[in-house]
A and B are shown apart, each in its own frame.
Chain A
């Protein structure tokens, strides 16, 4: 029983694949020796990672004084980067969970890599709360455990603690969701491997056999995890936004922050997925699975979320005027004309202006434009967090407390280090695991493969109908 598919739909798998071909194409990258490109990228990533670790150790050894945080700018690159990475992590869960609930078949080409991205991004993000406290050796104080200090519990009323729960939960659930989907694919690799590789994938595939009852539970679990992960992903960046919105600082204390942050997170997450997918599909020769249709759809999401972010910016500006509250009005004037005006320009042009290019279908389907745009969007989103955090803190209520902040080499190094962590882990992932969800792609072959839909189906439908007309 194959589902009915309208011939208007474009194929999501090209190249006239059959199931075996899908297995071959997707398993190949982890079965052959790494290409030169991979090795070079890996070396660069590991170098950045190493420098980052050095900077982190430097920070822990010499203290937070090695950063330029001051009064009143207590949050600078550290928290900007934290929010940036969490935002990037949102795409994976959105693609896995929300697109599953909306039955968007195109998610199968990108969900595995996007979910992996989420986990790596969340790891990078989690680093910052850990190291920015100064005494990382007692960072376990964050967790509510019975202790000999009272017991002194943590402040459950603080958004900073809500963050701890949100990010831990997010990391755990994303990992579980990602891994559950990987198990059948690891089984595929196991059954093709021999020797050490077979042992390795045997361990990872948990004894998966492909039995019908197991698949049934798999689908049920995936659906419920998707149903849980959807509000979860909304809640995570919402809670991050609460770090700012629960304050009374003008420019921070505003009710639109929760959904606006979530939209922004999806925006930057999809941009990072595109950055990685555009390169991955080329190098691993997966263009038949991560097609232009996928890229078109992701660019539509970027356009949508970028516009929502734009609406939020305009809303904030308007309501600042509307409120009649001079401090709120100043906060926004300061963003546009103050000491960090260049960050504001960067934010507006990258986030609001540049995605408008995607109204054009031709641009959405252009690989170079997509790649460049994905970089711009992430730069823009970094500037957005920078505009929100240091710019606002630099010019708050008391002019006598106004100060300036720019990062030290240590802070920049840590940021580069997180890029190193992220890309190192991603590159390892592409070697070890299938980058595209093998089983899920096979499941949509009959409804979305190019021999089953699109032009081919239209022609066969037309022939079928004319046959009916003539036959009777």
Chain B
């Protein structure tokens, strides 16, 4: 993977960060990414992030769970090996409901969580480059990709950081 050169600025407060990102968007500066120690409310629409579709994935996985449970139990007790339990009919749907429900939730949860880590590019032992150790502490970061970028363009970014009140500006190769 080709090395990326990143120019990033650190901010001390999320309100300052939000203003900075707004300014960057109005100035049509191409932000590589924004990092924060906690989710900052109001950041997503400003950054123009489209809504996550994880809950839709969850619904689909859940539906698979529902159908799996219902159809399997129906098959077992009507086709495969019907047994009379407690004098009830072979196809006792009320008795199936608890397991149908549990499997729906189980499939939805596992499906969503696995999807989440997959699309995030995260997982056990995965190492993603960290721009600055203090981002997970108390610093907010706006990062620009400056690989093979002209010096005057880099100056625009530097100017941006100065104007928006970044407390530090650094570069890193990742």
Contacts and interface: CB of A to CB of B under 8 A. Distances in A.
Interface of A: 1-3, 18-20, 22-23, 144, 150-153, 155-159, 161-162, 165-166, 168-169, 172-173, 176-177, 180, 183-184, 187-188, 190-192, 202-204, 206-221, 223-225, 228, 231-232, 235, 239, 242, 438-440, 442-443, 446
A439 B128 contact: no
Interface residues of B, number: 70
A19 B137 contact: yes
A2 B40 CA distance: 10
Contact of B136 (A161, A191, A202): A191
Given A3-B41, A210-B35, A228-B58, A165 B98 contact: yes
Nearest to A165: B102
Contact of B127 (A150, A176, A207, A221): A207
Nearest to B95: A157
A19 B126 CA distance: 27
Contact of B105 (A208, A214, A220, A232): A232
Nearest to A242: B98
B137 A188 contact: yes
Contacts of B76: 144, 153, 156
Contact of A210 (B80, B121, B136): B136
B83 to A, nearest CB: 8
Nearest to B122: A206
16 contacts: A23-B137, A152-B81, A173-B106, A191-B137, A210-B35, A217-B120, A220-B54, A221-B116, A224-B54, A225-B109, A228-B58, A228-B62, A228-B105, A231-B101, A235-B102, A442-B138
B130 A209 contact: yes
B35 A209 contact: yes
B62 to A, nearest CB: 8
Contacts of A3: 41
Contacts of B116: 180, 217-218, 221
A184 B136 contact: yes
A156 B99 contact: yes
Contacts of B62: 228
Contact of A19 (B37, B99, B120, B124): B37
Interface of B: 14-15, 18, 33-44, 47, 49, 51-52, 54-55, 58, 62, 72-73, 76-77, 80-81, 83, 85-86, 88, 92, 95-96, 98-99, 101-103, 105-106, 108-110, 112-113, 116-117, 119-131, 133-138, 141
B69 to A, nearest CB: 9
A217 B52 contact: yes
Nearest to A213: B49
A169 B137 contact: no
Contact of B102 (A22, A166, A217): A166
Contacts of A239: 98, 102
Query: For A180, A216, A224, A225, which residue has the most chain B Cβ atoms within 10 angstroms?
Result: A224
A30 to B, nearest CB: 15
A162 B109 contact: no
Given A152-B81, A212-B43, A214-B120, A443 B99 contact: no
A152 B40 CA distance: 53
B134 A191 contact: yes
Contacts of A153: 76, 80-81
A20 to B, nearest CB: 4
Query: For A20, A152, A209, A214, which residue has the most chain B Cβ atoms within 10 angstroms?
Result: A209
Contacts of A440: 38
Contact of A206 (B35, B80, B126, B133): B126
A466 B90 CA distance: 75
Given A211-B34, A212-B47, A443 B39 contact: yes
B34 to A, nearest CB: 4
Contact of B122 (A188, A207, A228): A207
Give 9 closest A-B pairs by Cβ, nearest first. A19-B138, A207-B126, A191-B133, A207-B128, A215-B39, A206-B122, A162-B98, A220-B52, A157-B95
A228 B37 contact: no
Nearest to B126: A207
Contacts of B41: 1, 3, 443
A232 B107 CA distance: 12
A20 B13 CA distance: 11
B109 A20 contact: no
Contacts of B99: 156, 161-162, 165
Nearest to A180: B113
A224 B39 contact: no
Nearest to A220: B52
B81 A169 contact: no
Contacts of A158: 85
Given A155-B83, A157-B96, A210-B37, 17 more contacts: A20-B137, A157-B95, A161-B99, A191-B136, A206-B122, A208-B128, A209-B128, A209-B135, A212-B44, A212-B49, A221-B113, A221-B116, A224-B58, A224-B112, A439-B38, A440-B38, A443-B41
A71 B109 CA distance: 41
